[in-house]
Structure 1
Amino acid sequence: MSLRRSRLRAGSVLAVCLAALAPATAGAAADPDGRQTLQRQLEEFVRSPGGPPGAIAVLRTEEGTRVVRAGVADIRTGRPPRPDDHMRIASTAKAFSGAVALTLVHHRVLRLDDTLRKRLPQLPDAWGEVTLRQLLNHTSGLPDYSRSAGFLDELRADPRHRFDSRRLLDYVADQPLLFAPGSEYRYSNSDNIAVALMAEAATRTPYEELLRRLVYRPLGLHSTSLPQGYRMPKPYLHGYDVEAPAPPEDVSEVIGMSGVWASGGIVSTPADMTRFIRGYASGRLYGRKVVEQQRRWIEGAASEPAGPGRNSAGLAVFRYQTRCGVVLGHTGNTLGYTQLIAATPDGRRSLTFSVTSQITESTGAERLQRMRALQENFVCALLRSKGE
């Protein structure tokens, strides 16, 4: 497929990248004991029809760090994936906006019951009663700007178009709420744009700077950024569009990040994401009272795509109840990438699982089911590790 076709397709798939997905039922799998079992399973997944060209998983326990990888980071050179390769983290970036907002709540700069009317009075009055809490757990009812005709038309015309990230909600400003705030769960990319704007309004500080001060620096993230353009920092995991029988096509730099911003625009590495989820899942950035609020679960509410096991939603975090135990984290997908970050509630054990193609219900339900089963096997290996 030509670059022109990739760019045209990018606009069509963005809504898929960001659309809500119902959880699939992970298939039964053998108990993954031993290092060779996970290695073999990841290699089989990469080699399977329609599988991603590359995959890397970083498991961290009290014993240390283990890296499992398969396939290649770059088809052209054939080099393997590495923990310091940059990648698009897609909707796992929503956990970063959650980290910013909840840290500000801890410091009493924001309150979970703050409304859009109070913090962002320039937004439609019909949205005024929506609270920060409802934005963070996707019960706001805000219409999703990434599904609007105006936004998608601009993206299809030029996938590298430079959007004004702080005006993305303008695309749906003429629309009412989809439901009464707090009455339903519905994943919306507008939610995290509003979260970032509330944080900026409360601090009079750009969101990018808040990320540096409140997240990157405290957690020791040295290779994480929120770009506006389409270029990837080197070295990076190349993301691919996989459409058999055509060979995989590199789509790493097809889409600019200004159109997703706080909802999914961050670039990071498996090593940095490991440090992030260990700190985030454990609540290291804020106190116990905020953690208790964050972990009020909405049963059956899935992340995007659904993570391993049974999913429930908290405040910018999801609970994944697997056959081996519980981990907390987030998933994400965008053109060329699918992500899972998860850790035990105390942050002592973590998994970062990244593949270099987009895997969703609509792009391949069977492949998504297989990936979720594989992710659960990795979680089980993580939880059963002799690190107590």
Structure 2
Amino acid sequence: MSALSTSRRRILHGALTMTLVTGMGGALTACSETDTDAGAGAGAAKTSARQETSGAQADKRLADLAQKAADGGSAGVIVRVVRGSGAPVDIARQAAWTKADHRLAADDQFRVGSNTKTVTATLVLQLVADGKVGLDDTVEKWLPGLVRGGKDITVRMLLNHTSGLGDFLLTPEFLPSLTGQERRTWRAEDLLAITPPQDPPAAPGKKHFYSNANYAALGLILQKATGKSLTELIERRITKPLGMKDSFLATDAGWSAGKQHVTGYEPGAKQLKSLLAPTVDLPEGIGFAGPGRPGGTIDTSRIDPSWSGAAGGMVSTARDWQRFLTALMSGKLLPEAQMKQMRTTVPAAEEGGGYGLGLMKVDTPCGTVWGHTGGLPGYSSEIYTDADGHRSVAVLTSTNFGIKEKAAAGTNKALVDEAACSMLGTSRPSASPAG
């Protein structure tokens, strides 16, 4: 559900964290056909050919990195790059042993986890624009008695994770549901009831501390302010208007009938305990529920994610989610005032730079990108755009804890950096010309 972090409160991975000149040739060929112009046209053609060769080399390097990541612990990887011109780059690579479960395709459905928070924040800011909710409204106003310290917590603090609330993810009450060992229907109210204080404590508004409890509360505020379910709000205000036909809020462990989905994997109990030892001391035998797979891995595709709701319950595809994020960042979903509020960040080094209202500002080796990350058992994602929403990139990985191991994490980070640089139209500084 959360972005990548070494903090003990966060074990779910979501993030590790130049325009090509194409118009010159057209401008030159429009000139009169003198010998000089013909020579200039030939030069432009050569430039275009070099750019195409360079682009092909970059795409091959990206595909090779995706396969390396899949073989090195990621199991399966989907990469989609939209550079603002030309056809999108779609890549799907997987470890050989996973092919017995299904053949990965670039348009497979995927649990996008905490990327959902950007949708939830967009809905809240739409209500702010409509005058129905105020960013400085207290939580107590909307949810009396439901949130500890709600009189001092504002809607804005929930959105940018400065509320002072802890997280429920690793509590003894919730851990069996997170791993799929216990089948239980969790309401947002139930999750807020077991949410502990931050450790160490922080007063509301003083410190960024990523917590899924913040968005559980926001989901309830949305429903109270509109009288509609979160499922209905997402469909009516986001997915239907944008034509996101393969996206929905999961209310159980099911997937869309007739649509292929990514199979998610996690390490078995013994390896999981070892991987997480620096972060949290898991009780013996605690592991993910699901069918066993080669190498001691577990198929986690049927673990119920419905508890994640407004904090992380969306199912989507790389194409669909890029469509949403591009529409948002280009100003199609929110008025200018609310976009400015969304992009006003607080320092958040663990998120890669800064955190706004449901939106991450991430500093990559090739420049700043905007978006979010996500993680659920078997699923990790990073989806970003440039500042104007003209370019976008999605990297979806079919494991979450499986890339916590140092070598796998390094390979995954190299892939994400390469993909982000490819989206921005430049070369990753550490990448050699030969890839």
User: How do 1:353-364 and structure 2 match up within 5 A?
Assistant: 353-359=395-401, 363-364=404-405
> Equivalent of 1:164, from 174, 187, 194?
187
> Equivalent of 1:289, from 326, 329, 337?
337
- 2:326–2:389 CA contact under 8 A, matched in 1: yes
CA offset at residue 147 of structure 1? 2.9
Q: Which has the larger radius of gyration?
A: 2
Counterpart-to-counterpart distance in 2, 1:180 and 1:104: 27
Q: Structure 1 residue 215 and structure 2 residue 263: aligned?
A: no
CA offset at residue 124 of structure 1? 4.2
SS of residue in 1 equivalent to 2:115: helix
> Equivalent of 1:268, from 305, 312, 316?
316
- Aligned partner of 1:272: which letter? D
The aligned counterpart of 1:380 is 421
Identity of aligned residues (%): 28
Q: Structure 1 residue 241 and structure 2 residue 270: aligned?
A: no
After TM superposition, the structure 1 stretch with the greater mean CA deviation from structure 2, 228-237 or 314-323, is 228-237
SS of residue in 1 equivalent to 2:135: coil
> Equivalent of 1:61, from 76, 80, 83?
83
CA offset at residue 204 of structure 1? 1.4
Counterpart-to-counterpart distance in 2, 1:360 and 1:313: 26
> Equivalent of 1:302, from 344, 350, 374?
350
Give TM-score scaled by structure 1 length.
Answer: 0.83
Q: Structure 1 residue 42 and structure 2 residue 73: aligned?
A: no
Flag the 1:328–1:154 CA change in 2: closer, same or farther, 3 A: closer
- Aligned partner of 1:341: which letter? I
Counterpart-to-counterpart distance in 2, 1:257 and 1:20: 13
The aligned counterpart of 1:187 is 210
Counterpart-to-counterpart distance in 2, 1:95 and 1:68: 25
The aligned counterpart of 1:257 is 305
Counterpart-to-counterpart distance in 2, 1:378 and 1:278: 16
1:42-68 deviation per Cα after TM superposition (whole angstroms, max 9, x unaligned):
1111122xx122111111122231102
CA offset at residue 122 of structure 1? 3.2
- Aligned partner of 1:372: which letter? K
Flag the 1:175–1:379 CA change in 2: closer, same or farther, 3 A: closer
The aligned counterpart of 2:387 is 345
Counterpart-to-counterpart distance in 2, 1:131 and 1:120: 11
Flag the 1:139–1:213 CA change in 2: closer, same or farther, 3 A: same
The aligned counterpart of 1:3 is none
- 1:196–1:207 CA contact under 8 A, matched in 2: yes
CA offset at residue 336 of structure 1? 0.7
Counterpart-to-counterpart distance in 2, 1:55 and 1:149: 32
Counterpart-to-counterpart distance in 1, 2:387 and 2:75: 32
SS of residue in 1 equivalent to 2:383: strand
Q: Structure 1 residue 89 and structure 2 residue 149: aligned?
A: no
SS of residue in 2 equivalent to 1:128: helix
The aligned counterpart of 1:9 is none
* Runs of at least 5 residues in structure 2 that lack an aligned partner in the other structure: 1-6, 18-53, 272-293, 428-435
- 2:180–2:304 CA contact under 8 A, matched in 1: no
- Aligned partner of 1:297: which letter? T
1:221-245 deviation per Cα after TM superposition (whole angstroms, max 9, x unaligned):
1111112211233310100124688
Counterpart-to-counterpart distance in 2, 1:372 and 1:119: 40
CA RMSD of aligned residues (A): 3.1
CA offset at residue 155 of structure 1? 5.5
CA offset at residue 165 of structure 1? 3.8
Counterpart-to-counterpart distance in 2, 1:182 and 1:317: 17
- 1:57–1:69 CA contact under 8 A, matched in 2: yes
Size of the aligned set, in residue pairs, is: 357
- 2:112–2:379 CA contact under 8 A, matched in 1: yes
Flag the 1:16–1:175 CA change in 2: closer, same or farther, 3 A: closer
- Aligned partner of 1:240: which letter? Y
- 1:21–1:302 CA contact under 8 A, matched in 2: no
Give TM-score scaled by structure 2 length.
Answer: 0.74
> Equivalent of 1:130, from 135, 153, 178?
153
